[in-house]
Structure 1
Amino acid sequence: MRLGVLDVGSNTVHLLVVDAHPGARPQPAHSHKAELRLAELLDEKGAIGADGVDRLIATLDDAVQAAEDKGCEDVLPFATSAIREAANADEVLARIKAVTGIDLQVLTGEEEARLTFLAARRWFGWSAGKLLVLDIGGGSLEIAYGIDEDPDIAVSLPLGAGRLTAAMLPGDPPEPDDVRALRRHVRAQIARTVGEFNRSGRPDHVVATSKTFKQLARIAGAARSAEGLYIQRDLSRTSLEEWVPKLAVMTAAQRATLPGVSEGRSAQLLAGALVAEAAMDLFGVDELEICPWALREGVILRRLDHLPGL
């Protein structure tokens, strides 16, 4: 069957169309995305403004039309931290449903972490052993650990690259004092969770998903996306520690010239790098592997697992 998964994230609204069947690998058929950066559109009260809601509705209309054009039998619409934590989330969701008919399901942070973990587990298989999965989004950082398809521990922290950039890095390039303050903030937040994970033992394999980690791996020398999904891409803590001070003195425009870094994400890359560096350091990770699958694939896989008659 042809499925569409409509992901309303903190940075983008992304429709992924796949041909999916139980027991088979979902095959991507079409991708439609628009950058809205909802995490940066919140007003001083933490609400999404009227202009932001109008832009979101127009973008959702375009995505639903694209899903129809591509012959999707079903569309799975969900939203993550930007809408989940907006002060006017209920009003936004009600307006979206009234205008577009889309019943947008809001995932909790823990659900995000668990679904992303499922995708990573299916990608790497049982032979990967105990997995530690890290995912930096626009609004939050998800961390999950376990040996089965459902992780033993799954947490979500408000450490997304877009959120942190908007709140704590106003300069371009940012002031050194702001960078240090953000570094302290990120490490204090992550350190609160490390003990719970450490009590479960060392992971056998550490993997990361998300555009932020993919871009960091690319500027550190990993293969281009054009070389395919099956090329192994790694990111070492040593390389990351070398890049963080370089990114800190660059403007967003300068970062956008780096390999694999898009103009729309370049402003957020430093904050994402600080989160990645802190997570790898505090969890004692010397090197991790980039996983091509993430939350969207997790949503699709869970849907396939619950098809009637299976």
Structure 2
Amino acid sequence: MNEHRIGIIDIGSNSVRLVVYERTANGAHRVIDGSKRPARLSERIDEHGNLSTEAVNELLGTLSHFRLICAHNRTGEIRAVATAAIRNAANRTVVLDAIKAESGLDIELLSGEQEAAFGFLGMINAMDIQDGLLVDIGGGSTEVSLFRGRKLLHSVSFPFGCVSLNRRFASKGMLSDEALRALDNVALEAFKSAPWLAKAQGLPIIGVGGTARALGKIHQAATSYPFQQTHNYAIPGGDTEMVFDQLRALPLDKRSKFPGLSKDRVDVIVPGLAVLRHLYKLTKASGYIICGSGLRDGIFHDTRFPEGSMHQDVLGFSLHNISMLHPAAPMQHVSQVNRLALQLYDELEELHQLHPRARILLDAASSLFRIGASIDYYDYAKHTFYLIVNSHLNGLSHKEILITASIASYKSKSRARQQLRPYKEMLVESDYVLVCRLGTLLQLASALDRSETQALSRLTVSVTPEQLKLHAVRPNSALTVERLEVTELAPEFTKLWKLTPVLELPDYIQA
């Protein structure tokens, strides 16, 4: 399979964005370039409903710039979409024709329902979640979708967003009590047009798009959150109300210095949060979860996987993609270690009685433990930890990502604690115990294929009060290296598991 690059251009109401994806020779995908230009198209509609000539010319300049970036990256395919601002413009046909003539791009003008569907696809492929309300507050529209059992049931697009609401209700970025009541009334009337909303009670609100990401960054800054990802970040409902009140009370010059808030959202963040909090109250939501994937990701999956764009096993898909991005890891060895680690875990299940998701974390760690070798073999454990923490490992919580990274790079109890020290506020003592026990289990599985020849084709296990007997069944060699490794590992393993591992060979080999 040859490398292939796809450019996705999203002409939004607040900004215009480009993302360039690469499909590698191994079939993995990653983002290799991107750009964002502010547009505020929803603010630049005249009294006749037309997008201004100045705005169109600026948009043409941005798209020409994006085409140059795509050409520089040798992008084989460009897919460009437009949402509410152009969708609602009276002169949208003229605008789309001008773009075609100037840049050669055929713009897909998405309906509100299509926009919601692509946003759902991007989110559901990045989160292991069954039920929720997906909310995307854009610049000129707000999409809300209800999903249960990972299936999209209802979606609606409301003709207002943070930019258009700011223009309509705010004065120099400030939202008075009277203006807030008026904004709330507009939102409430709109929500009544989707009666299924009032029945979707007690679900989490999954926030995608700029308003949600901004909320996540603000909350993380306020709480000194140590993990630098907003994707899959949970926020209690009361905290969002607090952030809203604090931001609304600040004049723009002071708001621009608010920790975590980018300058291009200083004036539009308050109207966006106003809609979000009103929806939260209406549905009695259980809280907020920020999602870092949305419309552009959905369009990518639709383009890249036309025969099956929705992936049910989010974690499995993510693990495979990360593994394929690091082909320096010896795949047959990794597969063998993964198989042995899970077998050992299952054999010891009655003894260890660990958390139900512990096996999932061991599976992930034993699939990725060698990816650090793509940077440097001699210190690959350190690099593995860094890569796992900073990769898009979807399907796990932030704490679970940290634990997985520590298991995958485990060397000793003291090193694990040192590695996790920057994140200590996120962890409890039982997490360190889990890391150490699963880390040594992974070490044992790796020792059983230390020669990286998969000589141990089959293993049976028996447990005595003091020993973990590992019986090699018809091995392809005398397992000399493996026996030595198991013996060296035994003291550390015994401390944590109260069992001494012993690798036993068939009599005909020992003889």
Are the aligned partners of 2:202 and 2:285 in contact in 1 as well (CA < 8 Å)?
Answer: no
Q: What is the distance in 1 between the residues matched to 2:204 and 2:179?
A: 33
Partner of 2:265 in structure 1? 265
Aligned with 1:33 (options 24, 31, 36): 36
> 1:178 and 2:179 equivalent?
yes
The CA deviation at 1:20 is 3.5
Q: What is the distance in 2 between the residues matched to 1:114 and 1:151?
A: 8
Deviation readout 1:110-165 (Å, 9 max, x if unpaired): 1111111111111113xx21232111111111111223665111111122100100
Alignment of 1:193-208 (within 5 A): 193=194, 195-199=195-199, 205-208=204-207
Q: Secondary structure at the match of 1:234?
A: strand
Q: Which runs of 5+ in 1 are unaligned?
A: none
Q: What is the distance in 2 between the residues matched to 1:230 and 1:171?
A: 29
Taking structure 1 as reference, are residues 296 and 75 closer, same or farther at Cα in structure 2, changes over 3 Å only?
same
Deviation readout 1:239-289 (Å, 9 max, x if unpaired): 122222322222233222112211111110110110110111111113121
Q: What is the distance in 2 between the residues matched to 1:224 and 1:5?
A: 34
Q: What is the distance in 2 between the residues matched to 1:11 and 1:293?
A: 17
Q: What is the distance in 2 between the residues matched to 1:252 and 1:237?
A: 25
Q: What TM-score results when the alignment is normalised by the length of structure 1?
A: 0.89
Q: Secondary structure at the match of 1:19?
A: strand
Are the aligned partners of 1:237 and 1:281 in contact in 2 as well (CA < 8 Å)?
Answer: no
> 1:137 and 2:138 equivalent?
yes
Deviation readout 1:195-244 (Å, 9 max, x if unpaired): 31455x55765411111112122223368899544864122220122222
Taking structure 1 as reference, are residues 248 and 229 closer, same or farther at Cα in structure 2, changes over 3 Å only?
closer
What is the alpha-carbon root mean square deviation over aligned residues? Answer: 2.6
Which stretch of the first structure deviates more once superposed, 181-190 or 130-139? 181-190
Aligned with 1:8 (options 8, 11, 29): 11
Are the aligned partners of 1:235 and 1:289 in contact in 2 as well (CA < 8 Å)?
Answer: yes
Q: What is the distance in 2 between the residues matched to 1:112 and 1:19?
A: 23
Partner of 1:293 in structure 2? 293
Taking structure 1 as reference, are residues 16 and 148 closer, same or farther at Cα in structure 2, changes over 3 Å only?
farther
The CA deviation at 1:56 is 0.6
Taking structure 1 as reference, are residues 273 and 198 closer, same or farther at Cα in structure 2, changes over 3 Å only?
closer
Aligned with 1:95 (options 98, 116, 126): 98
Q: What is the distance in 2 between the residues matched to 1:73 and 1:236?
A: 43
Are the aligned partners of 1:17 and 1:28 in contact in 2 as well (CA < 8 Å)?
Answer: yes
Taking structure 1 as reference, are residues 20 and 280 closer, same or farther at Cα in structure 2, changes over 3 Å only?
farther
Q: What is the distance in 2 between the residues matched to 1:245 and 1:146?
A: 30
Partner of 1:116 in structure 2? 119
Q: What is the distance in 2 between the residues matched to 1:21 and 1:123?
A: 20
Q: Secondary structure at the match of 1:83?
A: helix
> 1:241 and 2:241 equivalent?
yes
Taking structure 1 as reference, are residues 145 and 231 closer, same or farther at Cα in structure 2, changes over 3 Å only?
closer
The CA deviation at 1:29 is 1.1
Which stretch of the first structure deviates more once superposed, 54-63 or 16-25? 16-25
Partner of 1:214 in structure 2? 213
Are the aligned partners of 1:129 and 1:205 in contact in 2 as well (CA < 8 Å)?
Answer: no
Are the aligned partners of 2:146 and 2:155 in contact in 1 as well (CA < 8 Å)?
Answer: yes
Q: Secondary structure at the match of 1:243?
A: helix
**Residue identity opposite 2:180 in structure 1:** V
Q: Secondary structure at the match of 1:264?
A: helix
Q: Which runs of 5+ in 2 are unaligned?
A: 309-511
Q: What is the distance in 2 between the residues matched to 1:217 and 1:54?
A: 33
**Residue identity opposite 1:305 in structure 2:** F
Q: What is the distance in 1 between the residues matched to 2:282 and 2:206?
A: 15
Q: What is the distance in 1 between the residues matched to 2:272 and 2:306?
A: 34
Are the aligned partners of 1:45 and 1:87 in contact in 2 as well (CA < 8 Å)?
Answer: yes
Are the aligned partners of 1:118 and 1:150 in contact in 2 as well (CA < 8 Å)?
Answer: no
**Residue identity opposite 2:253 in structure 1:** A
Are the aligned partners of 1:132 and 1:207 in contact in 2 as well (CA < 8 Å)?
Answer: yes
**The structure with more helix, counted as a fraction of residues:** 2
Q: Secondary structure at the match of 1:33?
A: strand
Which stretch of the first structure deviates more once superposed, 33-42 or 219-228? 219-228
Say how many residue pairs are matched.
304
Taking structure 1 as reference, are residues 180 and 247 closer, same or farther at Cα in structure 2, changes over 3 Å only?
farther
Partner of 1:73 in structure 2? 76
Which stretch of the first structure deviates more once superposed, 179-188 or 98-107? 179-188
Identity %: 25
Deviation readout 1:23-66 (Å, 9 max, x if unpaired): 97641111111101111111111111111111110110001111
**Residue identity opposite 2:207 in structure 1:** A
Partner of 1:157 in structure 2? 158
Are the aligned partners of 1:168 and 1:178 in contact in 2 as well (CA < 8 Å)?
Answer: yes
Are the aligned partners of 2:127 and 2:232 in contact in 1 as well (CA < 8 Å)?
Answer: no
Q: What TM-score results when the alignment is normalised by the length of structure 2?
A: 0.56
Higher Cα Rg: structure 1 or 2? Answer: 2
Higher relative contact order (CA 8 A, sep 6+): 1
